[in-house]
Chain A
């Protein structure tokens, strides 16, 4: 098996999506595939390879319908005017989509069927709003038997398809308090704001010139949803967002976002040959299924599997990126795996930075690799819960690449 490295990582800023008030989304007049189309050539350039060397392109998207239909991954390539010789596929593992792209690319290179693989992620939650609106349009048509037929009632698909309710259920199974979650939410915003201030994200964000609702053009280069002034008091006053007597509020959930992410994987030997300094080496991957009504637990078994395959213990991991679809997901993972909270989401998490569903996996992994480099850690694990009851995880190692 060949060793696979992350040779490049770049993303757009994550705008804040508002399907009912589109004008406030900084990317309201750009489609996700256009964001990706602008991003990919720059990623290739910055990585220092020739686009013709790319064997495969794998794009993750959680709602690949309507304008996010990617024609098997080819539309973003067309929009980027990249060589026709690059094969492509789109992959949907919901919130784990872009990470699934990394997994597939990793395996393709490891098994020597490809040498250079580009992974992308795209999601625009203003222009292609998840759930209800797409169902109303018939763009998504869940099988009605799952809701109606007695033999499927045990799945409780109504709850499984409402992420907020799965978070409520995960909360109910734990002994955390609402305040624990609020505190984690405040921490997420504080850390993200601090990282923004320190310019940490500057090197991973490609500024995009985006036309705004009023016709002016804005250079979008920061994540729109980060709010450094978030307070515990403020968060504690928010009302439950998903059920009347619930605890999960918008403040301790990831916002809706629009963004594109990208990553270039290659074999370590190719990187060496080309003199490319990788960000990190991929050591292990993991994926697991769980009860769809507590999908937030998914990262736990997925991470355990990845650790086992790598022959590592949770305590060997220096830094974690746990996708904060909800704060409770991170708290649950910390508790179940026995982690030191100070190693988790050190630059802030999805609550603040955002969670553009299918695009998130590449951001988690890429940001983690940059954290390892910034902080001097060795092992890192990125994981995410996945709607429908799954978890995905990727373990990377920062090495001294002496070439």
Chain B
């Protein structure tokens, strides 16, 4: 047979044809690659010197999934149904083929990769590799037999879990559950796979008995299946609002798992196509691809990031300790500085606490933490000890004077290449940098609480931040496994101000007589993790008030503090931290705060407002129009200019529902003309706060969208 394909190299060992698959970057199943695979199989079937086949990957991946960029482009069922059916039939042809096929799973075996492996007659995996059906995470379902073969191999319960949640499992667990036949050392994988293939040749193993379609052990009885699926359908419906894929996957399993697997496979493909054509899938795939590209700005395309090996953290508070956690895990030499020994001691305690969860969950050993602290971690109260660090991250008191003092001192201590990063969440960074002789070295690295958990890193370029500083910061963000989103300096930067814009419509609705609970529920149903009142109680009503005041001062009349906001602030209950805010948290379960109700009552009486009920969609329309408008203002002001980054920031930083793609994706879907019309209507009703940005007016007139595609 031909042994030299573009994406496959074939070696023949001991009567066994070994296919080494190599389709960079991740052996994704692109059209071309599948065609070559199919050709290699048909040639191997025809070649009498080949009695069995082993397929394995080169590098870190067996096959890490389909080429999802292909899905992004499809708009009609006809375009995708044919090719998808072809893949399914190809996998079935491996399964029912004339020669035994062993999957030697060398690395990530995900999505279509696992589906191909399950079409093989034997699966042998290298220790520690990942196997999974993660399709639901990008709005799809397994479309190559995953919903039918996985339950046959590991049973309904585990298959449902893997398919509806999308989380992969390690080879060892896969072996325990019966998904793989053998787990071996990576170095021996191919040799042992060939040995396994030879067991078919010697008839020790029977190809027919090892076809996944002939595995009946885990097929549930009709009654069991009904009970299990009724339960799963109810649970999935409750958990996956907005996401259609989990329900489609459940449907594929519910209607499938019969003794006519070929019919079940074709049904699965139909359901897969439904998902592939949905906006949800397009949004999620967009987010997936944009996340991979996050921070790769044209501005720094050719700017090489400086090497960062040693990092200083200033301040061991809540943010500081979370950031130290990231630094240690990232393998950096880390120095924690704080104002005195007592503060340091507290900081070290906080750092250790950030590791308590993984240790409790046995994801990490106490010895590993001890060794990490021993080898990588130092503390000091003397800024002079920071003379050899490559990066300083500052999270001290939110006071311009205090911060500037420290930076001024460090300028005299650190070498010229050291990047100065502030984690301030409110202070203008351009102003902070002005104290330095070289303001180009300063940048904002805005972590979100808890820093070691939240995926977003908002990187803020100050007025004079240099390309080198930015490039180094982005590379650092990626190295500590964050999604780095770059924006420019301005009050609240991007995320805080955008979140304010998303939640800020709530007070206008309240002031108009709409019940707070209705607003909370509307935002929850929209997909946000919480509504404006719950969020304010968490972040602090006083903090929000002061931010609002700052915005009013710096950004003008659109941001004038609403009289109702003022009245609520004057109550003096600032949220959970004071025991009460919109809700009273002093008892076991939160109850409405009577003081808030009283303030509202007075406001209604003074302003002749009568409580009213409005459709949920009306609430969502107002809240989102306000958010979109805010985004446009920020683009006009030059805070940010990349819709994909802005949407990612809200998804990773605030829990904006991924299935909606983001605020700007939502605006595009709605149509800017509709957004504009809504804003005009709202401005009439509620005043200048809703005045449409010029940009929206222009986009509406020109029929433009935020995204190009």
Contacts and interface: CB of A to CB of B under 8 A. Distances in A.
A133 B217 contact: yes
Interface residues of A, number: 18
Contacts of A19: 216
A34 interface: yes
B259 interface: yes
B222 A30 contact: yes
B451 to A, nearest CB: 46
Nearest to A139: B217
A137 B218 CA distance: 11
A213 B259 contact: yes
Interface string A250-290: 00000000000000000000000000000000000000000
Nearest to A212: B222
B39 interface: no
Contacts of B260: 213
B217 A137 contact: yes
A67 B224 CA distance: 11
A129 to B, nearest CB: 9
Contacts of B216: 19, 22, 126-127
A19 B259 CA distance: 12
B183 to A, nearest CB: 15
Nearest to B217: A137
Contact of A30 (B178, B223, B258): B223
A34 B223 contact: yes
A127 B215 CA distance: 11
Interface in A118-143: 126-127, 133, 137
A17 to B, nearest CB: 11
A126 B259 CA distance: 13
A66 B221 contact: no
Contacts of B677: none
B217 A66 contact: yes
Contact of B222 (A22, A29, A133): A29
B179 to A, nearest CB: 13
Interface in A278-319: none
Interface string A149-190: 000000000000000000000000000000000000000000
A30 B217 CA distance: 13
A29 B221 contact: yes
B499 interface: no
B458 to A, nearest CB: 52
A126 B217 CA distance: 9
B169 interface: no
A211 B217 CA distance: 18
A75 to B, nearest CB: 12
Interface in A69-91: none
> Taking chain A's interface residues, is the majority helix, strand, or loop, or is none over half, making it mixed?
loop
Interface in A12-53: 19-20, 22-23, 28-31, 34
Contact of A31 (B178, B214, B221, B259): B221
A29 B259 CA distance: 10
Contacts of A31: 221, 223-224
A38 to B, nearest CB: 10
B219 interface: yes
B223 A22 contact: no
Interface residues of B, number: 12
Contacts of B221: 29-31, 34, 67, 127
A22 B258 contact: no
Contacts of A28: 259
A30 B216 CA distance: 13
Contacts, number: 31
Nearest to A31: B221
A71 to B, nearest CB: 15
A215 B178 CA distance: 28
B217 A22 contact: no
Nearest to A128: B217
Interface in B172-210: 178
Contacts of A127: 216, 219, 221
Interface in B217-274: 217, 219, 221-224, 258-260
A66 B155 CA distance: 12
A127 B224 CA distance: 13
Contact of B214 (A20, A137, A213, A215): A20
Contacts of A211: 222
Contacts of B214: 20
A20 B221 CA distance: 16
Contacts of B223: 30-31, 34
A66 B219 CA distance: 12
A30 B222 CA distance: 6
Contacts of B178: 137
A369 to B, nearest CB: 31
B259 A23 contact: yes
Contacts of B219: 22, 127
Residue in B178, B217, B259, B260 with the greatest tally of chain A CB atoms within 10 Å: B217
Nearest to A33: B221
A137 B221 CA distance: 19
B259 A22 contact: yes
A31 B260 CA distance: 20
Contacts of B217: 66, 133, 137
A22 B217 CA distance: 11
A211 B260 CA distance: 15
A215 B254 CA distance: 13
Contacts of B259: 22-23, 28, 213
A66 B178 CA distance: 14
A213 B259 CA distance: 7
Residue in B221, B224, B259 with the greatest tally of chain A CB atoms within 10 Å: B221
Nearest to B225: A29
Interface string B559-570: 000000000000
Contacts of B258: 213, 215
A126 B216 CA distance: 9
Interface in B142-188: 178
A92 B219 CA distance: 25
A19 B221 CA distance: 14
Nearest to B216: A22
Contacts of A67: 221
Interface string A203-220: 000000001010100000
A66 B217 CA distance: 9
A28 B216 CA distance: 10
Contacts of A133: 217
B323 to A, nearest CB: 48
Contacts of A30: 221-223
A244 to B, nearest CB: 15
Nearest to A35: B221
A328 to B, nearest CB: 29
B273 to A, nearest CB: 24
A67 B259 CA distance: 19
A211 B222 CA distance: 7
A28 B223 CA distance: 12
Nearest to A137: B217
B453 to A, nearest CB: 39
A213 B260 CA distance: 9
Contacts of A34: 221, 223
Contacts of A66: 217
A301 to B, nearest CB: 37
A146 B514 CA distance: 79
A280 B223 CA distance: 36
A211 B216 CA distance: 17
Nearest to A30: B221
B177 to A, nearest CB: 12
A211 B258 CA distance: 12
Given A30-B221, A211-B222, A213-B260, 7 more contacts: A22-B219, A31-B223, A34-B221, A126-B216, A127-B219, A133-B217, A137-B178
15 contacts: A22-B216, A22-B219, A29-B221, A30-B222, A31-B223, A31-B224, A34-B221, A66-B217, A67-B221, A126-B216, A127-B216, A127-B219, A127-B221, A211-B222, A215-B258
Those 10 A-B pairs whose CB atoms lie nearest each other, nearest first: A29-B222, A23-B259, A31-B221, A211-B222, A213-B259, A22-B216, A30-B221, A29-B221, A34-B223, A34-B221
